[in-house]
């Protein structure tokens, strides 16, 4: 095995990820090659140092700033979807117009029904009692 082939495998060997014949070949090379052995020792020292290192302490302001950013992002992109203010105003205006139209339509329909009812009773009164009520509906409803 050549040095550069071995050196590419050294990290895997240091991590314990190298097995079988690959591992045997690398170990055989390390027994004979001082340069690769030295590199392997250096890698193992680094790995041990990394494993022993305490995780870096996170400064409190960093957590506060990150959480503020998260809340900010959540406030702008998440949450319930709302129609923009102009659209809401348009909807409110449409509702008012619709309600006014409904009231006007109801009142007009009521007048027509009341008038028809009155005219019917007018005719009935004329037929039954001979009372001259003809034209009273027109006087009352302005026609
Ligand atoms: Zn070597």
Measured in Å, residue 21 CA sits from the centre of ligand 1 at 17
Measured in Å, residue 14 CA sits from the centre of ligand 1 at 16
Report whether 13 contacts 23 (CB < 8 A): yes
Side-chain half-sphere exposure of 54, counting CA atoms within 13 A = 3
Report whether 47 contacts 14 (CB < 8 A): yes
Residue 40 pLDDT > 90, yes or no?
yes
Measured in Å, residue 1 CA sits from the centre of ligand 1 at 8
Secondary structure of 24-35 in HEC code, one letter for each residue: HHHHHHHHHCHH
Give pLDDT, residue 101: 86
Distance CA 54, CA 80 (A): 42
Residue 13: which residues within 8 A CB-CB, separation 6 or more? 23, 26, 27, 40
Measured in Å, residue 38 CA sits from the centre of ligand 1 at 9
Measured in Å, residue 46 CA sits from the centre of ligand 1 at 19
Structure tokens at 138: 């027109």
Give the pTM. 0.38
Burial bucket for residue 38 (CB in 10 Å: 0-12, 13-18, 19+): exposed
Give pLDDT, residue 116: 72
Three-state DSSP at 12 gives helix
Measured in Å, residue 52 CA sits from the centre of ligand 1 at 28
Measured in Å, residue 98 CA sits from the centre of ligand 1 at 88
Measured in Å, residue 48 CA sits from the centre of ligand 1 at 22
Report whether 63 contacts 71 (CB < 8 A): no
Give pLDDT, residue 51: 76
Residue 125 pLDDT > 70, yes or no?
no
Measured in Å, residue 53 CA sits from the centre of ligand 1 at 29
Measured in Å, residue 15 CA sits from the centre of ligand 1 at 19
Distance CA 22, CA 12 (A): 10
Indicate the average pLDDT of the chain.
80
Measured in Å, residue 32 CA sits from the centre of ligand 1 at 8
């Amino acid at each position: 095995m050549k040095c550069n082939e071995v050196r590419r495998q050294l990290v895997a060997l240091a991590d314990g990820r190298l097995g079988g014949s690959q591992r045997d070949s690398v170990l055989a090379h390390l027994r004979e090659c001082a340069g690769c052995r030295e590199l392997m020792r250096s890698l193992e020292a680094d790995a041990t140092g990394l494993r022993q290192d305490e995780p870096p302490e996170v400064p409190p302001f960093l957590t506060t700033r990150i959480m503020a950013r998260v809340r900010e992002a959540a406030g702008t992109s998440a949450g319930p979807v709302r129609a923009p203010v102009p659209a809401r105003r348009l909807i409110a205006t449409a509702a008012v117009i619709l309600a006014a139209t409904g009231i006007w339509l109801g009142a007009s329909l009521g007048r027509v029904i009341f008038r028809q009812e009155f005219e019917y009773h007018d005719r009935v009164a004329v037929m039954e009692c001979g009372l001259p009520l003809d034209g009273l509906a027109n006087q009352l409803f302005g026609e």
